[in-house]
């Protein structure tokens, strides 16, 4: 069946694609959203409120690895890439909403200091942060930090006891001249009246919010776009080729749910496939790469974990610490004003605590018997954990390219992810370990888990946080898209995902991805109004 | 596949409709369970090891009564043959004196060398997971969560009040 040309095809329905789709449809454009996965329904296809003893055998029999449903563990394709170097990871979640289904909701604005390394200023993005926070239902406290500006917050969620101890430790370090702030997390989880359900503090956010409280593309912008009547959604539809002619994209070829090849044509194309898949498709189609920078400038967050226990918390009531998942607070503000000469960039530390039987963070206690059982209860009840999130140094050693030998089931080359930790990365992690240990001890705690001196084998990459591979910039020789997210080479090709990030601070990427994609989509809609497309 | 607009809204409403249904179904009768991955003697040894690892105490029953042997047998049933063979061998070796076996394994816990040492670490971590998944394990922690509550008060400790 022939399909009439669309104004815009958006490929990928994750955080960037979801918001772009709504903005374009809202502007009156005829939009096709193409998503390689199907629908996963909150409360039906995922939801972690189960009795694991009742679900164990049915789920193992069905091929799952855990009795507790988890939207990422159950549905990710973890081998859709070739790793090169220091254990890179990558997970493709093929579903309507993409990886917005399995994020923790952490929503931190990049600050004016962070945008010094971008071709656009914070003030240009700030209005989009505000709009995004309102629609996402972000909760938080007003902390007044210059480089992590406050937003449009619903009421904040307080610390647990262990995180309160870490705050005490951080405050003591501040009296010794260290620059840092320990603040409560900011998450896209409504705590007050909102268009979505209000949080009921069950703590299963990352596993997939079964009441659709946590923001996802699937529960907010895509239904809003459907309401306009301007959107057609193609699920289980995998793009295999980008069509182009005379320096412009004209449409895509995709395989539908029955494996049949189909074509869509449009006046413009928005790629929102993520920071690995977007450059992969550009490289496969040999498009938009006159700069040679497609796939370059790859970066992410990486880290280690330090855990302490606080005897002062003995006997506290830990009966329900579930809250909004594990990390309720954040150590921030490190090296914003004065960089550390031993490494480039900086890190933040996500802080969590609480007694939760299904995650039980402190479990490596030696021994057995009655003492082990007492220690498991006591140590988990009085612990706090600190998880580093550092910005990985950008260099020629980190990139995405095409694997010359491995192909996916559609015959397309798989992406290779090259990751090699460098001296700056290791120095940053060692600084973080020392800082975390100092905070725990200053608060009266005892360090029970630490990597000690760090080497690359101890570092963990955050495979949800890749960015930078289709970099934004003003110079077409050193960047792929301009400050409007538009290809320097192909005027009707736009990128709306985190691959456009020009530089990467320590802060989580999703809120900025959504704000920028909103801005890019509004800019594209304006070009249609001005007949520039 | 084109997604129908009405269908999408039905789907999105499904999660909201279930937001206050938190009554998880009852689990199997673990006391009446007959092992399928392990032999009856191996299952008996596993039960003894479970109670040595996480015994009954003032906080409640131990790992055997919690159903941990059932859980581990089902995991092994859907595991691979090499994994089952490792467990069969270790459990057979411990059959005559489980207390002596676990004492010997635990001595090398921080620097495991033999297959038996490595088995102990796998057994211990799996049993801890299974125990705290069980109602008995949750009760032993004093845990009452995994439910819907209207607010999250944060740290209730009077000395740690968050301003």
Can you tell me the mean pLDDT for A400-418? 97
| Spatial distance between the Cα atoms of A326 and A157, rounded to a whole number of angstroms | 12
**A507 token code pair:** 């802060």
Helix H or strand E encompassing A174: helix A161-175
Residues 76-95 of B with CB under 8 A from A: 77-78
pLDDT at position B7 = 55
Give the 3-state secondary structure of A394-447.
CCCCCEEEEEEEEECCCCCEEEEEEECCCHHHHHHHHHHHHHHHHHHHHCCCEE
ipTM for the complex shown? 0.91
List the single residue in B1, B11, B133 with the smallest CB-CB distance to A256: B1
pLDDT band for B22, please (50, 70, 90 cuts): low
Tens-place pLDDT, residues A464-508: 999 999 999 999 999 999 999 999 999 999 999 999 999 999 999
A261-271 and A92-93 strand pairing:
unpaired
Residues 7-66 of B with CB under 8 A from A: 8-9, 11-12, 14-22, 24-28, 30, 52-55, 57, 59
Can you tell me the mean pLDDT for A424-445? 98
How far CA A264 is from CA of A17, A245, A278, A331, in Å, comes to 17, 14, 18, 47
**A95 token code pair:** 């579903």
| Spatial distance between the Cα atoms of A45 and A209, rounded to a whole number of angstroms | 11
Q: How many CB pairs under 8 A join A and B?
A: 216
pLDDT at position B26 = 80
Q: Which residues in A lie closer than 8 A to residue B127 (C-beta atoms)?
A: none
pLDDT at position B1 = 61
Cross-chain Cβ contact A318/B143 below 8 Å: yes
- Nearest residue in A to B76, CA atom: A60
Q: Which residues in B lie closer than 8 A to residue A219 (C-beta atoms)?
A: 12, 15
Which DSSP string corresponds to A33-96? Answer: EE-SSB---BTTTB---S-HHHHHHHHHHTT-SSSS--HHHHHEETTSSEEEES-----EE-BT
pLDDT of B96 higher than 90: yes
Min Cα distance A467 → chain B (Å) is 30
Cross-chain Cβ contact A44/B14 below 8 Å: yes
Q: Confirm if A326 and A371 have CB atoms less than 8 A apart.
A: no
DSSP bridge partners of A239: A254
pLDDT at position A10 = 99
pLDDT of A237 higher than 80: yes
Q: Confirm if A349 and A389 have CB atoms less than 8 A apart.
A: yes
How far CA A357 is from CA of A86, B135, B136, B140, B146, in Å, comes to 32, 10, 11, 10, 10
List the single residue in A42, A222, A373 with the smallest CB-CB distance to B54: A373
Cross-chain Cβ contact A201/B109 below 8 Å: no
């Amino acid at each position: 069946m022939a399909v009439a040309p669309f104004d815009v095809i958006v490929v990928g329905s994750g955080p960037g694609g979801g918001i772009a789709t709504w903005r374009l449809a809202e502007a009156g454009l005829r939009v096709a959203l193409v998503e390689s996965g199907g629908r996963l329904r909150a409360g039906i296809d995922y939801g972690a409120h189960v009795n694991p003893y009742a679900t164990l055998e049915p789920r193992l029999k069905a091929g799952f690895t855990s009795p507790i449903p988890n939207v990422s563990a159950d549905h990710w394709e973890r081998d859709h890439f070739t790793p090169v170097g220091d254990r890179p990871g990558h997970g493709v979640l093929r579903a309507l909403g993409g990886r917005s289904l399995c994020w923790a909701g952490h929503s931190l604005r990049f600050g004016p200091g962070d945008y010094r390394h971008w071709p656009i200023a914070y003030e240009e993005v700030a209005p989009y942060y505000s709009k995004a926070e309102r629609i996402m239902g972000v909760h938080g406290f007003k902390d007044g930090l210059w480089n992590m500006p406050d937003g449009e917050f619903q009421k904040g969620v307080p610390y647990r006891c262990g995180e309160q101890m870490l705050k005490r430790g951080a405050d003591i370090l501040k009296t010794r001249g260290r620059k840092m702030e320990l603040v409560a997390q900011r998450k896209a989880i409504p705590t007050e009246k909102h268009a979505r359900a209000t949080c009921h503090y069950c703590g299963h956010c990352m596993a997939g919010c079964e009441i659709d409280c946590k923001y996802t593309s699937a529960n907010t912008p895509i239904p809003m776009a459907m309401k306009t009547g301007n959107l057609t959604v193609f699920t289980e539809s995998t793009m295999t080729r980008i069509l182009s002619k005379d320096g412009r994209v004209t449409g895509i070829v995709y395989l539908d749910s029955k494996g049949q090849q189909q074509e869509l044509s449009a006046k413009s194309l928005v790629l929102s496939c993520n920071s690995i898949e977007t450059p992969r498709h550009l490289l496969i189609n040999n498009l938009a790469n006159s700069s040679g920078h497609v796939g370059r400038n790859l970066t992410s967050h990486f880290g280690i974990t330090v855990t302490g226990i606080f005897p002062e918390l003995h006997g506290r009531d830990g009966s329900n610490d579930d809250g909004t998942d594990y990390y309720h607070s954040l150590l921030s503000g490190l090296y914003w004003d004065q960089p550390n000469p031993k490494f480039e960039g900086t890190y933040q530390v996500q802080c969590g605590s609480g007694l939760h039987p299904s995650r039980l963070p402190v479990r490596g206690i030696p021994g057995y018997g009655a003492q082990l059982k007492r220690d498991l209860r006591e140590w988990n009840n009085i612990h706090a954990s600190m998880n580093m999130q550092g910005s990985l140094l950008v260099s020629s050693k980190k990139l995405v390219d095409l694997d010359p030998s491995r192909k996916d089931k559609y015959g397309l080359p798989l992406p290779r992810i090259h990751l090699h930790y460098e001296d700056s990365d290791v120095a940053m992690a060692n600084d973080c370990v020392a800082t975390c240990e100092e905070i725990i001890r200053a608060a009266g705690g005892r360090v029970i888990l630490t990597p000690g001196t760090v080497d690359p084998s101890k570092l963990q990459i955050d495979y949800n946080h890749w960015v930078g591979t289709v970099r934004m910039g003003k110079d077409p020789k050193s960047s792929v898209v301009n400050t409007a997210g538009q290809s320097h080479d192909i005027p009707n090709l736009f990128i709306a995902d985190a691959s456009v990030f020009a530089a990467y601070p320590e802060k989580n990427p999703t809120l900025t991805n959504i704000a920028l994609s909103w801005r890019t989509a509004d800019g594209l809609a304006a070009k249609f109004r001005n007949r520039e497309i | 596949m084109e997604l129908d607009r009405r269908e999408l809204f039905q789907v999105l409403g499904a999660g909201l409709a279930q937001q206050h249904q938190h009554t998880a179904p009852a689990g199997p009768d673990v006391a009446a369970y007959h092992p399928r991955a392990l032999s009856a003697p191996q299952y008996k040894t596993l039960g003894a090891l479970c109670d040595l690892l996480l015994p009954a105490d003032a906080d409640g029953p131990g790992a055997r009564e919690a159903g941990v042997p059932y859980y581990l047998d089902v995991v092994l049933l859907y595991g691979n043959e090499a994994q089952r063979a490792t467990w069969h061998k270790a459990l057979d070796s411990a059959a005559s004196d489980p207390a002596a076996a676990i004492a010997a394994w635990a001595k090398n816990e921080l620097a495991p060398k033999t297959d038996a040492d490595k088995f102990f670490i796998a057994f211990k971590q799996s049993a801890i997971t299974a125990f705290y998944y069980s109602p008995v394990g949750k009760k032993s922690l004093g845990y009452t969560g995994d439910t819907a509550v209207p607010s999250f008060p944060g740290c209730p400790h009077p000395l740690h009040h968050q301003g």
